[in-house]
Amino acid sequence: QVQLVESGGGLVQPGGSLTLSCAASGPILDYHVIGWFRQAPGKKREGVSCINVNNGVTYYEDSVKDRFTISRDTAKNTVYLQMSNLKHEDTAVYYCAATVYTGNYFYPYRADLFDQWGQGTQVTVSS
């Protein structure tokens, strides 16, 4: 099974930007969708954004639409999450995850479909 390793987290001021990377130990094309999820202290995990690694179709949760951009590089087996105009409420541990399931799903809302998860990277938005 592929291992997923997140990187790129850190401390950023409100309004700032960060780019997270999710590097897979094997071909991401073995999967159907790779996504980013996050969990803030005391809150439930929530989906942020996902991408169909084969055709590039993207999915965004409403609160990050127009601020975050997900992309993939199949040659590098890496999925990226570019985050801009960051807000305090974006503070969380960000996880990437992969699934082989296909279907008419809004993948950010279906964490239950994802069976490969990384260890997470902390993003803190604070002045």
Compute how many other C-beta atoms are within 10 angstroms of the C-beta atom of residue 66. 9
d(CA 4, CA 49): 16
pLDDT recorded at residue 2: 85
CB 33 within 8 A of CB 52: yes
d(CA 116, CA 101): 12
And the tokens for 85? 């105009």
Compute how many other C-beta atoms are within 10 angstroms of the C-beta atom of residue 101. 14
Helices (H), 41-103: none
Give how far Cα 4 sits from Cα of 22, 27, 42, 88, 119, Å: 6, 11, 25, 26, 8
- Mean pLDDT by groups of 10 residues along the chain of 127 residues: 94 98 96 97 96 96 97 97 98 97 92 96 97
pLDDT recorded at residue 59: 97
- Run of H or E residues at 59: strand 58-60
